[in-house]
Amino acid sequence: MYKVAVIGGRDTILCFKALGLDVYAADKPEEGRKILKEITGPESSYAIIYISENLAVGMKREIDKFKDSPMPAIILIPGREGSLGIGKEALQSAVERAVGIDIL
């Protein structure tokens, strides 16, 4: 069975823990990179990994490794501070690659 993980600041991830998702607290990009590497190893069963946008800014290279792979899907979500627009840009780029034009 596939699982869902959330990586982000403690304030951002607490609500996801209440939903039963696996949560990993990371306040700095270095911590986020380490967690992402651990949970995406060869034996990983994560289908979706949500990462807060403010953390993802410093993890671009690591996140881009999964851009063209079907699993895990890396989805950027707004943090407690609000949206930075990075998640929307990533979604728009993925849709453009999939259909060939910008439909959003």
Sign of the dihedral through C-alpha 62, 66, 67, 72: negative
Average pLDDT over residues 74-103: 65
Q: According to DSSP H, which parts of 1-104 are helical?
A: 10-18, 29-39, 53-56, 60-64, 86-99
Residue 36: name the closest of 76, 1, 68 by CA: 76
84 lies in a domain?
A: yes
The number of beta carbons lying within 10 Å of the beta carbon of residue 46 is 18
81 lies in a domain?
A: yes
pTM of the model: 0.79
The answer to whether residues 36 and 62 touch, using CB atoms and an 8 Å cutoff, is: yes
CATH of the domain at 14: 3.40.50.10580
How does pLDDT run across 1-26, given as a tens digit for each residue?
A: 899 999 999 888 888 998 999 999 99
pLDDT band with cut points at 50, 70 and 90 for residue 97: low
83 lies in a domain?
A: yes
61 lies in a domain?
A: yes
104 lies in a domain?
A: no
**What is the residue range of 63's domain?**
3-99
Q: How many structural domains does the chain have? A: 1
